[in-house]
Amino acid sequence: MSEFDQKKDPITLTRLLLRDSKQLGASGDFAILLQSIQLAVKVISSATSKAGISNLYGSTLGGAENSSGDVQKKLDILANDVFVNALSFCDMVAIMGSEENEEPYMLQGTKGKYSVVFDPLDGSSNIDNNVGVGSIWAIYKHDPKNTKTTNDPEEAKQLLLKPGRQLISAGYAVYGPSTLLVLATSFGVNVYTLDPTIGEFILTQENARVPENGSIYSINEGNALFWDKPTRAYVHKCKERQNRARYIGSMVSDVHRTLTVGGIFAYPGDEKAKNGKLRLLYEVNPMSFIIEKAGGKCTTGTASPLDITPTELHQRCPIWLGSAKMVEEVEQLYKELE
């Protein structure tokens, strides 16, 4: 970044994608896809900042639930529509999967080089309290054996049920004091900050790295009565060495802190929910991909979630991710105590 004066010569996300498209092993099509995603993020950022003024707080009429059993907020519906519309218009997506919908979206008459899955508004249960929320997405190359789009929902599902190792890119946005967009590719992780005065995402951290160790653990201790032995043992270890507990309850916010300052984030399985709460396709895989590309580690306790081939679109999966040394401690406890 030293070769650029960010005031006179800012590196925007669009500019970087165009400049580095060859290095990323991508064509201009990938840049077009990311343009559409950043547009969706800008629209959702604007909506969240004006949610109270625009009467977007609260649940939908009748308290409808999404496909994962969560009560939908008004902003959930808006964010989902924004993502669907932006990705549909770009002409680069064959199939989409949303955490908010039971069935995939099948797009007809597109170039269809990519498949995209997303959680349009992660942490939306916090939105009424003005707590930071975000969006998460993951991008796969559309299977070359299935270059044509399909009208069959079951066939479309199968085309989305891919392990995280096949991801070519993943990212998340944080809607907080500033709007951040974090993008991971095979070449690393960059952080961009939205400059509202020019309406562009500016590169503010290149090649972000998770510290090898940390002093923060992030887990919902309200579930402590139901934890398995390795989880109880690990949290006890954290308390013994006076690690700090930080848990926001918005995955994007908790994971972004972990990426920035190190530590560990966890939503393990327990007696109430064997596979935890978070969805493999929409939350666990994208975040695991990002953390790994930034030099961190991820595990279910016994294996990498990125190696799991999902069998359902809304499959849940336990997750520990963050600083490599802390995740390795968890893996060792699972070997010893399970």
DSSP conformational letter for 300: S
Q: Which of 177, 205, 233 is the last residue of a domain?
A: 205
Closest to 14 measured CA to CA, from 183, 218, 258: 183
Which one of the listed residues 107, 122, 306, 321 is annotated catalytic? 122
The question of whether 65 is a catalytic residue gets the answer no
Catalytic residue (one of 78, 119, 203, 270): 119
Which residues, listed in sequence order, are joined to residue 239 by a DSSP beta bridge?
Answer: none
* Statement to judge: residues 178 and 36 lie in one domain: yes
Q: How do residues 67-77 score in pLDDT, each as one tens digit? A: 555 556 688 88
Do residues 86 and 186 both lie within one domain? yes
Domain boundary among 155, 177, 205: 205
| 266 within some domain | yes
Question: Is 275 in the same domain as 162?
Answer: no
Residues 45, 192, single domain; the answer is: yes
76 is catalytic: yes
Where residue 305 sits, what CATH number does that domain have? 3.40.190.80
Q: Is the pLDDT of residue 149 over 60?
A: no
pLDDT level of residue 54 (50, 70, 90 thresholds): very low
pLDDT of residue 178: 94
Looking at the fold, whether 263 and 309 belong to one and the same domain comes out as yes
Catalytic residue among 16, 33, 75, 76: 76
232 and 142 share one domain: no
Q: Please indicate, yes or no, if residue 211 is contained in any of the structural domains.
A: no
Please, how many CA atoms are within 13 Å of residue 323, restricted to the half-sphere of its CB?
18
pLDDT at 62: 46
Q: Taking the mean position of all CA atoms in its chain, how far away is CA 48? A: 18
Please check whether residues 53 and 124 belong to one and the same domain. yes
Distance of CA 242 to the CA centre of its chain: 29
* pLDDT score at 148: 53
* 70 catalytically annotated: yes
Domain presence at residue 38 = yes
Q: Is residue 299 part of a domain?
A: yes
| Residue 239 CB burial class (10 angstroms; 0-12, 13-18, ≥19) | exposed
Query: Is the residue at 260 inside a domain?
Result: yes
Cα separation of 296 and 101, whole Å? 31
Tell me the whole-structure pTM to 2 decimals: 0.91
Q: Is 59 strand, coil or helix?
A: strand
Do 290 and 246 belong together in one domain?
Answer: yes
Task: Give residue for tokens 């359902």.
Answer: 312
Split at pLDDT 50, 70, 90, the class of 99 is very high
Q: Are residues 221 and 95 in the same domain?
A: no
- 89 and 229 fall within a common domain: no
Quote the strand ranges of the chain, DSSP E.
Answer: 93-98, 105-106, 114-122, 133-141, 167-175, 179-185, 188-195, 200-205, 216-218, 244-245, 264-267, 297-299, 319-322
User: Would you call 122 a catalytic residue per the annotation?
Assistant: yes
pLDDT at 336 over 50: yes
CA–CA dist 281, 271 (Å, integer) = 23
Q: How far apart are CA 77 and CA 120, in angstroms?
A: 9
Phi-psi region of 169 (alpha: psi -120 to 50; beta: other; left: phi over 0): beta
Same domain, 62 and 197: yes
Q: Is 232 exposed, middle or buried (0-12, 13-18, 19+ CB in 10 A)?
A: middle
The answer to whether residues 192 and 261 belong to one domain is no
Specify whether 121 is catalytic.
yes
CATH number at residue 63: 3.30.540.10
Catalytic one among 20, 29, 70, 143? Answer: 70
- 331 catalytic, yes or no? no
Query: CB under 8 Å to 233, separation ≥6 — which residues?
Result: 333, 337
**Residue of 228, 270, 283, 331 marked active site:** 283
- Does the residue 7 lie in any domain? no
Catalytic-labelled residue, pool 100, 254, 270, 292: 100
Residue 93 lies in a domain: yes
Of 205, 229, 261, the position where a domain reaches its end is 205
Residue at 160 is within a domain: yes
Q: How many domains does the chain have?
A: 2
Which residues form the domain of 305? 216-337
pLDDT tier for residue 145 given thresholds of 50, 70 and 90: low
The residue with tokens 């998340």 is 172
The Cα–Cα gap between 82 and 85 comes to: 5
Distances (CA, A) of 204 to 5, 274, 323: 12, 39, 22
Q: Distance of CA 94 to CAs 125, 185, 202, 291, Å?
A: 30, 20, 29, 27
